[in-house]
Amino acid sequence: FHPVSRRGPLFPLPAETLIAVKPAFHPATFPAGGQGWKAGSANLADLLRLVVPAAPRARERTVRRPWGMPPFQSCLLSSSSRSRLPPSRTSGGLAMSGGETLVDEEEAEMLVSLAGDGAIVRRTGRFLRPRATSTYEAAGVPFVPLLREIVAQGLINWPPKVLFRGWRLPQAKWGQWVEKLKPIYRNVWKKARIHEAIMASTCEVRRDNAAFFGLLECWCPETNTFVLPWAEVTLTLEDVLILGGFPVQGEPVRVGPSTGEGQEILAKMIEGHKGFRKRSAKKAFHYDWMNYYMAVGVGDQLEHVAFLSLWLSRYVFPSRPFDTVVRHVFPIAIRLAHGTKIALAPAVLASIYRDLRELKQQAVANGIQGATPAVVWAPFQTLQLWLWERFISLRPEARPHFLHWDEPRAARWHCLDQKSKLGYVRAILESPDEFQWRPYTTNLDDWGHPSFYKDNGHWTVTVSAKDDEDMGLFARFLRPCELVGIDCVEQYAPHRVAMQFGLDQDLPGYVPRADATWELAWTTYDKVTENVEFYAPPRLFESDVTHRFFDWQKQCALGRNDAWKNALFQQRRLWQKKQEELFDVNQ
């Protein structure tokens, strides 16, 4: 395979071209007879280099072409699937008057079951933009092998060794500090939209390793989605808002304090941070930081900023050095302490996407031995909550807790434990009936769902960000964009998982990257929400996929499987040819 770019497609080369490639691995890694083979740890990266492209260097950008179906699959397409769609119809026509429309509405043949055994009905569908007009233009999953395909061939050690540095449990006195400051700063937290996130940090979310690694096997870094046998799903801004409580709207995380008072507090925080270096530990460890400011603080602004700095360093943006309060969160803490809204949700989601990609890359790089554990810093407890909300069969045996007043949704799973088997997790992930497309829209006696979950579907135009803020949030869920994190930029593709928002799924269109700088990436996220038209579906509506999407996805899966088998076959032929050359030399 020829890698076009880290996020671009992989197009299979002719067999004669692959045969002519000189192997970069030792022939001893292949058994005689060609009856299957297993790569050694030192040679696995070379072996998979033909199918797994290396990540480019920082600031390096390659020219990307739209994802599409390789030419050899064109014979699989029927003439009807090649026809173009009729022009889309929208309710308000704002696209013609300078506004933005996020949803298309038109009649289409819909398949009522993802398993393929349901009826085909023709009805009006609502689809997220961008959509492809034909299967040739659809942004398919690139032919980079998923971990589940690599694991099935025994090419890597699985499950890998992972250090979850960002999966932090609440400290013994953390709840006390929260309760101390909550009566004083509750209104400030609500103004900054971090109240639920702070309360969620007091919940203990326990990890189900088998469920996590089962999901990781399906992760596709090129699309930032889990590619399951029946569809793509992913963690979205909606999930991060509801499960983690992180705000979606606000300023970017990379902007520092600008006011004079903010600069004064920043200087005091830096001076206090230096004081911890004079101690025997030489670092501002979380426990020491909390004990010090809880003891000397009187609920003033300085203690509040110190509290938020620990919260950010431990539960939101964990980073090196481990278990210490880091300086780069001070500007964020100062702005939050003044009630400034900061978009924490896209930054948290970007860190999760980044570490899922790095976990896959390191699993491939370590190969069979896997001696070096991977270290990840993202708050993956949000992904664990997502898994329990979406897959009922993978939930803990104990029932979720009833929520009390002022408790976040994450408190439903506080201290619940589940230890699944990897084989069972894989079986659950293969069934489309196990997945809950909209778990937050159902009625819970102890939790009030947000106002953007309506009983009746309707078209909405956000005239102003202050007109209906919840509907402005829903519009952000639906728009493809770049997610700006503390130290990364990742692509967000909700149009690939439209059914998670109650909309119908059609062929996903191509979205070009805009990540040359974080400022450019932020403009794709922080678009003005005025005059944005979209459809808010009924909260209990069951969406479907188009018939052509189902056929296209099935053909893509077959093509991916054939391409992976072809790569393995070509590698065996390379080994056999090398063996013949060695035999001739020995003769």
Q: What is the mean pLDDT of residues 377-395?
A: 97
Where is pLDDT greater, at 61 or 415? 415
The CA–CA distances, whole Å, from 244 to 173, 194, 504, 580 equal 21, 10, 26, 59
Residue pLDDT, tens place only, 541-570: 999 999 999 999 988 888 888 877 887 777
Contact (Cβ atoms closer than 8 angstroms) between residue 6 and residue 53: yes
pTM above 0.75, yes or no: yes
Task: Show the tokens assigned to 350.
Answer: 């970007």
Where is pLDDT greater, at 575 or 138? 138
Say how many CA atoms lie within 13 Å of 338 toward its Cβ: 17
Q: Which residue has the tokens 């030489």?
A: 282
Using the predicted structure, report yes or no on whether residue 6 has a pLDDT greater than 50: no
CA-based Rg of the chain, rounded to a whole angstrom? 25
Residue pLDDT, tens place only, 150-199: 898 888 889 999 999 999 999 989 999 999 999 999 999 999 999 999 99
Residue pLDDT, tens place only, 200-251: 999 999 999 999 999 999 999 999 999 999 999 999 999 999 999 999 999 9
Residues 6+ apart with CB under 8 A from 160: 213, 359, 362, 363, 366, 370, 373, 374
d(CA 128, CA 493): 10
Domain ranges of the chain: 147-536
Residue pLDDT, tens place only, 291-333: 999 988 788 999 999 999 999 999 999 999 999 999 999 999 9
Q: Backbone phi, then psi, for 342, in 5-degree steps?
A: -125, 135
Contact (Cβ atoms closer than 8 angstroms) between residue 449 and residue 403: no
Contact (Cβ atoms closer than 8 angstroms) between residue 227 and residue 459: no
Q: What is the mean pLDDT of residues 74-88?
A: 33
End-to-end CA distance of the chain: 34
pLDDT at residue 258, as a whole number: 66
Q: What is the DSSP string of 326-350?
A: -GGGHHHHHHHHTT--B-HHHHHHH
354-378 core/surface letters (b: 16 or more CB in 10 A; e: else): bbbbbbbbbbbbbbbebeeebbbbb
d(CA 385, CA 388): 5
Residues 6+ apart with CB under 8 A from 367: 39, 40, 41, 42, 43, 44, 45, 155, 156, 157
